[in-house]
Amino acid sequence: MDIIKNIVFWSQINTEQKLKVLSRPILNQKKTITKTVSQIINDVRILGDDALYKYTYKFDKINLKSIKVKFDHIANASTYINKNLKKSINIAKKNITLFHASQKNSPIKLNTQIGVTCEQLIRPIESVGIYIPGGSAPLISTVLMLAIPAYLSGCKKIVLCSPPNIDYAILYAAYICNVREIYQIGGAQAIAALAYGTKTIPKVNKIFGPGNMYVTEAKSQISNLLNNTSIDMLAGPSELMIIADEHANADFIASDLISQAEHGVDSQVFLVTSSIKLANNVLNSLKSQIHKISRITIVKKSLKNSFFIITKNLLEAVAISNMYAPEHLIIQTKKPRYLLQYIKNAGSIFLGLWSPESVGDYASGPNHVLPTYGYASSQSGLSVRDFQKYISVQELTLKGLLNISKTVKMLASAEKLDGHKYAVQSRIDYIKGKN
């Protein structure tokens, strides 16, 4: 059976076909999901902890004795972790911390004109919730990617929720990232608890983290409610596009395609190349490598959503990438930095033979929480700034107000907002009367 059936020559298909090739797979969401999640959110809002216990038993088949994880259990998690795993977690933490610490901005203070002082203050979001999905393996890297920038930004309260029973590696990663409040609650009910608060779980100002379609739907619904809780982004299935030339390593490309395809059946990967020979070599390598992967069934289904695109040249490949705006972009060409200058839309970019996307997922430094579904054309990956607020301050002297008053009154008159004009004029009249 062919691993990739979707091989297209870009110059031989029309505009409609091109758009179809670059379209994302439709998420397999039933209409009942919206209604189900709405019911869960409403139950948590009204019943609080009782709803959390109920849904944990219903979905996770666990009778919780306590929602909150005891501090001693968190602090002692390190004793249950393999020393080599601990070492890897600590190296990843160091790199991620170093990169994110460089993102810190300084407050701004300047005079835009004589007597007009303007400032920009930076304040951390007071309380944040980070959601770490459960599943077949602990997502240690997601703890690091969320907790580190939250701590660096100065958030006073960082609350972590994850389905029971939480793996010791998750607890260890959270502990070394200064997270002390951890609750063993998952799914839409966890998002609702963070949004509304219960007797046990505190309400937070912003919720971060990926999840399944129920978690994503819960975040979507929460973001539309007027309850002072916002979300980071609505992350969809994983995406990878690889731009390659005849100098690329076919085995490396095949392994990169598999690494992202194994995320889930809705993942989507592309090879965009000007070399037909390379495309055939990658295809042969895929057929060989795929049998070494434990998640082979998922990979095969994901590859049905995926394409090999043959282009006339590399600049056409770049144009296709900018149109698609991938979450992850690998450029494996002889001179990858030459093409970098032409990339406009991508969540995170990996250059050259020795930069597999896997490194970015875990340990190199930049965040792996990235915009999907084409939002890389207008949004950025997660950073320290997402955990902060920027507040402007303005202070005018008497002379400053006099100098700018005509400008403001003229603009207010043009917009027919007499109250705005009068707020300035009343002060001018007062100054003139005083003199």
Residue numbers in the known binding site for Zn(2+) are: 260, 263, 361, 420
Annotated catalytic residue: which of 181, 239, 262, 328? 328
Would residue 291 show up in a list of annotated catalytic residues for this protein?
Answer: no
What is the C-alpha R_g of the chain? 26
Annotated catalytic residue: which of 217, 262, 327, 357? 327
User: Where is the binding site for NAD(+), in residues?
Assistant: 131, 189, 212
Tell me how far apart the alpha carbons of residues 353 and 57 are, in angstroms, rounded to a whole number: 47
Would residue 327 show up in a list of annotated catalytic residues for this protein?
Answer: yes
Which residues are registered as beta bridge partners of 103?
none
Residues with catalytic annotation?
A: 327-328
